[in-house]
Amino acid sequence: MQGKIALEEHFAIPATLADSQVFGAHVWDELRDRLTDFQDKRLRLMDASGVEIMIASLNAPAVQAIFDVKRAIEVAREANDVLAAEIAKRPDRFAGFAALPMQDPEEAARELIRCVKELGFVGALVNGFSQAGSANSARYYDLPQYRPFWRTVAALDVPFYLHPRNPLPGAIPGYEGHPWLMGPNWAFHAETAVHALRLIGCGLFDEYPTLQIILGHLGEGIPAYLWRIDHRNDWMKARHKYAAKKWVADYVRDNIVLTTSGNFSTSALNQAIAEIGTNRVLWSADYPFETISDAAEWIDAAPISEQDRLKIARTNALTLFKLKI
């Protein structure tokens, strides 16, 4: 299928490049080049797989792991300026997500405003919790100090992509001795799912009902557990004890958008569609950590209707990001 739109596709700048080496040390020469290239191999791979537009975002954890707040602000701004310059070379092929220094909610809001209003970005992508002040800190965005930031996101009417990062070293004893569980094998999904559920449970979407949060990898496992999250021990009729006013599933179906990034499983896709519908599922690859051609060949052959394929691979993204192409 031609005309695909991809939206969890990464790049790096010199200040953040080394953050990605752990996820592909054995192929680092190739991975490094793919992260820093825009106008050569990236475009050729897009052309070969029918990708018309790529919405690019900074690699992980990048800004979120810089606990020197002043430096985090500087790196976010630098990354956004680099991305804007690359988009300007091919505005017909690239769009951008803002990197944000969430260590400082006011600065994050200011940078998002700049990126949307001045640079023309279509939203933000943030790599999970932020460290601020010390390497052992972890700030999640359901905390009260982030409410003004979310007000800004809602006012700008742009989506916020909550992208994974690993938990802090030693934070979860169950991972000790099993480093293979870190990253995309498991920890990415578990960490991001908990963060997303915190945002739901704190009442954020009651206060800002138009907010749209994007989760990659077909929802970080949440769709498979929606019934159980809301109906555990159903005979006891014990409602959730949280600030939110509705069921978790209600918010997922109204305020959460899923992408197929890095999860090319037809059964997982079918479950996501069954839980939240085709209008809230978007195609992505997770380049360069996954191959664009793998993602494209999978969705092109997936046993779904042509109408659903068009929605997932193109028109849902056109609507969500208000793209004019």
| Tens of pLDDT, residues 6-58 | 999 999 999 999 999 999 999 999 999 999 999 999 999 999 999 999 999 99
pLDDT above 90 (res 190): yes
pLDDT of residue 325: 80
Residue of 123, 46, 59, 48 whose CA lies nearest to 92: 46
Distance of CA 129 to the CA centre of its chain: 13
pLDDT over 90 at 78, yes or no: yes
- Give yes or no for a cis peptide into 105 (omega within 30° of 0): no
Task: Name the catalytic one among 286, 294, 300, 308.
Answer: 286
- Residue 191 token pair: 């960490």
Q: Does the pLDDT of residue 199 top 90, yes or no?
A: yes
Residue 286 falls in the annotated catalytic set: yes
Give the number of residues written for the chain.
Answer: 325
Confidence of residue 239 (pLDDT cuts 50, 70, 90): confident
- Per-residue pLDDT, 237: 84
Token pair recorded at residue 88: 């300007």
Quick check: 249 and 230 in contact, CB under 8 A? Answer: yes
> How many angstroms separate the CA atoms of 215 and 280, rounded?
11
Question: pTM, whole model, 2 decimals?
Answer: 0.97
The fold for domain 4-320 equals TIM Barrel (3.20.20)
Per-residue model confidence (pLDDT) at position 55: 98
Please say if the pLDDT value at position 235 is more than 90: no
Mean pLDDT, the chain, rounded, equals 97
Helix (H/G/I), strand (E/B), else coil: 13: coil
Radius of gyration of the chain (CA): 19
* Percent of the residues in the chain that have a pLDDT greater than 70, as a whole number: 100
Whether 72 and 25 have beta carbons less than 8 Å apart is answered as no
Question: Residue ranges of the domains in the chain?
Answer: 4-320
